[in-house]
């Protein structure tokens, strides 16, 4: 069975919090991990239902919250509309170029930008904990 590491992370998190195990959470986790996309709760719900049609949307929301808390997933908020979730564990930090035409995400990192953010925060005597950088524009494909 794949995704052993990720499953262990969730199991440990659940145990540590005094929670109990459930098949639904496992189904949701595995479905989430199988897709490398930036999914909304609704989109993930649709996918999980193929494997387990009895599942409820509330459980998907509850599980996504656990995945974020345990470090397996992280939120992505663009404009209005639903929050999207992406893999976090085992993925390097990255920022996103978002195509305003087709909605495509391009994942990017620039170590220099990361460093300059630290410098910028330090100048304000601000303890930087994290950041979200979204860059909007037109992707290569959409430029034609």
> Which residues in this chain contact a second copy in the complex, by CB under 8 A?
77, 79-80, 83, 97, 99-100, 106, 108, 110, 112-113, 116-117, 119-121, 123-140, 143
Residue whose C-alpha is closest to residue 2's, from 42, 34, 45: 34
CB of 135 to a second copy, least distance (A): 4
Question: What string marks each residue from 40 to 59 as x (binds DNA by CB under 7 A) or -?
Answer: xxx---------x-xxxxxx
Query: Smallest distance from the beta carbon of 69 to DNA, in angstroms?
Result: 12
Residue 59 interacting partner from Zn ion, DNA, a second copy, none (CB closer than 5 to 8 Å by kind): DNA
Cα–Cα–Cα angle for 25, 30, 33, nearest 5°? 125
Spatial neighbors of 26 by CB under 8 A, at least 6 apart, are 7
Q: How far is the CB of 135 from Mn ion (least distance, A)?
A: 12
Instruction: Please give the distance of CA 128 from its chain centroid, rounded to a whole number.
Output: 20
Q: Which does 21 bind (CB under 5 to 8 A by kind): Mn ion, Zn ion, DNA, none?
A: DNA
CA angle (78, 119, 124) in 5-degree steps: 85
Residues in contact with DNA, counted by CB under 7 A, come to a total of 27
Put the strands of the sheet holding 73-76 in their side by side order: 39-40, 84-87, 73-76
Cα–Cα distance measured from residue 124 to residue 11, given in angstroms and rounded to the nearest whole number: 40
80 or 129: CB nearest Zn ion: 129
Among Mn ion, Zn ion, DNA, none, residue 86 binds (CB under 5-8 Å by kind): Mn ion
d(CA 4, CA 7): 5
Positions touching DNA (CB under 7 A) are 14, 18-25, 40-42, 52, 54-59, 61-63, 65, 80-83
């Amino acid at each position: 069975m794949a995704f052993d590491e990720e499953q262990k992370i969730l199991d440990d998190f659940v145990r540590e919090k005094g929670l109990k195990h459930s098949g639904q959470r496992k189904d949701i986790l595995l479905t989430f991990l199988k897709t490398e996309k930036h999914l909304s709760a609704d989109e993930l719900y649709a996918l999980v239902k193929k494997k387990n049609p009895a599942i409820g949307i509330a459980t998907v929301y509850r599980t996504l919250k656990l995945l974020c808390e345990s470090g397996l997933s992280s939120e992505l908020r663009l404009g209005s509309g639903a929050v999207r979730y992406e893999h976090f564990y085992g993925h390097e930090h990255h920022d996103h170029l978002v195509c305003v035409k087709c909605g495509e995400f391009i994942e990017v990192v620039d170590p220099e930008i990361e460093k300059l953010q630290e410098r910028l925060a330090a100048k304000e005597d601000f303890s930087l904990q994290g950041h979200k950088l979204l860059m909007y524009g037109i992707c290569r494909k959409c430029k034609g």
